[in-house]
Amino acid sequence: MKHYLSINDLGNLHEAVQEAITLKKQPFSFAHLGKQKTICLLFFNNSLRTRLSTQKAAQQLGLNVMVMNFGNEGWQLEFEHGVVMDAGKAEHIKEAAQVVSQYCDIVAIRAFAGLEHKEKDEREEVLQGFVKYAHIPVVNMESSVAHPLQALADAITIAEHKTIERPKVVLSWAPHPKALPHAVANSFVNMMKLQNADFVITHPEGYELNPEITKGYQIVYDQQKALENANFVYVKNWSSYADYGKVLHQDSNWKMTEKKLKKAQFMHCLPVRRNMVIEDAVLDNNQSLVIAQANNRTYAAQLVLKRILKNL
């Protein structure tokens, strides 16, 4: 593997999940791979899980790790070509990416959607800027449109907890006070395309995801109907895609409750706002897989970094 930008870079998902589960049993078995090599983790946005799990994964592979909160501490980057840089942006992506390439062997980037300009977000300008100008492999730690490390962790979690060969998996929108990006939901849908599962998406009208991503999938606007006989329920908020980045409403009827969940296992990428998105009772009962998902972020990252290191 050269870069890890989307879940499709894994090839066979089942094989990747099994490889990650094997790594989880013996996390230090490839500690020689990263010896005398360095990964640089660049954060343009906040993080808890991605930062710590990717760092842990890298260390378990023997890598040196450098972490930078680029959003607060780096120079503001320019991405346009041919502009006179006479305003706030002090450094161009062309130099920044080449300079970073000299300090490390792999670079991982987190840069969320701004949710103001759809075309700009869909260009994934930070991530793709590094892909274009850096000379080293690039890992997506959540871009403006995708969160493939989360999706791989979710696939590992489903594999570990499914009790039937072809489970019913429901992705349900939930209310949230702020406008959130589509990256987690997009990558979850793309990951589900590679699964043997009955997959249903449910959300209020107006919250349709990018139709290119959901093409071929059943969208059910009645949440109760969608949840019937579900084995896994993945809850996530996202803002409108058509009315780009807008919160159309925060209908609390869509909040996930113990009563709606019935016997299904519950998933969420975290962080989650209790009693806004999901009621306490769901998070606090043993049907919740959220802590297991967060744990699997380490082995998702470790699988990806292992494959990249083997290719260096």
Please identify, using beta-carbon distances, which residue of 184 and 200 lies nearer to ligand CP.
Answer: 184
Residue of 27, 30, 37, 47 that binds ligand CP (CB under 6 A): 47
Minimum CB–partner distance for residue 49 and ligand CP (Å): 4
Under the criterion CB under 6 A, does residue 48 sit at the interface with ligand CP? Answer: yes
Give the H or E element holding residue 92. Answer: strand 91-92
Stretch that binds ligand CP, among 79-87, 98-106, 210-218, 266-274 (CB under 6 A): 266-274
Minimum CB–partner distance for residue 161 and ligand CP (Å): 18
Minimum CB–partner distance for residue 57 and ligand CP (Å): 13
Contacts of 238 (CB under 8 A, 6+ apart): 173, 180, 181, 182, 184, 185, 207, 209
- For residue 8, give the DSSP letter: G
Under the criterion CB under 6 A, does residue 150 sit at the interface with ligand CP? Answer: yes
Minimum CB–partner distance for residue 184 and ligand CP (Å): 7
Strand partners, 1: none
Which parts of 270-309 interact with ligand CP (CB under 6 A)?
270-271
Please identify, using beta-carbon distances, which residue of 93 and 156 lies nearer to ligand CP.
Answer: 156
Give the H or E element holding residue 218. Answer: strand 218-220
Contacts of 156 (CB under 8 A, 6+ apart): 17, 20, 21, 24, 296, 299, 300
Under the criterion CB under 6 A, does residue 210 sit at the interface with ligand CP? Answer: no
Please identify, using beta-carbon distances, which residue of 260 and 268 lies nearer to ligand CP.
Answer: 268
Minimum CB–partner distance for residue 289 and ligand CP (Å): 13
Minimum CB–partner distance for residue 296 and ligand CP (Å): 11
Please identify, using beta-carbon distances, which residue of 140 and 214 lies nearer to ligand CP.
Answer: 140
The phi and psi torsions of 68 (rounded to 5 degrees) equal -135, 130
Stretch that binds ligand CP, among 8-16, 43-51, 190-198, 255-263 (CB under 6 A): 43-51
Which parts of 70-129 interact with ligand CP (CB under 6 A)?
none
DSSP string covering 131-179, please?
A: HHH-SS-EEESS-SS--HHHHHHHHHHHHHH--SSS-EEEEEE---SS-
Under the criterion CB under 6 A, does residue 268 sit at the interface with ligand CP? Answer: no
CA distances from 70 to 25, 45, 80, 111 (A): 34, 8, 19, 10
Give the H or E element holding residue 50. Answer: helix 49-60
Under the criterion CB under 6 A, does residue 49 sit at the interface with ligand CP? Answer: yes
Q: What is d(CA 187, CA 147) in angstroms, rounded to the nearest whole number?
A: 6
Under the criterion CB under 6 A, does residue 260 sit at the interface with ligand CP? Answer: no
C-alpha angle with apex 65: 46 to 97, nearest 5 degrees? 70
How much is the CA Rg of the chain, to the nearest whole Å?
A: 19
Residue of 50, 55, 101, 240 that binds ligand CP (CB under 6 A): 50
Interaction site with ligand CP (CB under 6 A): 47-50, 142, 150, 269-271
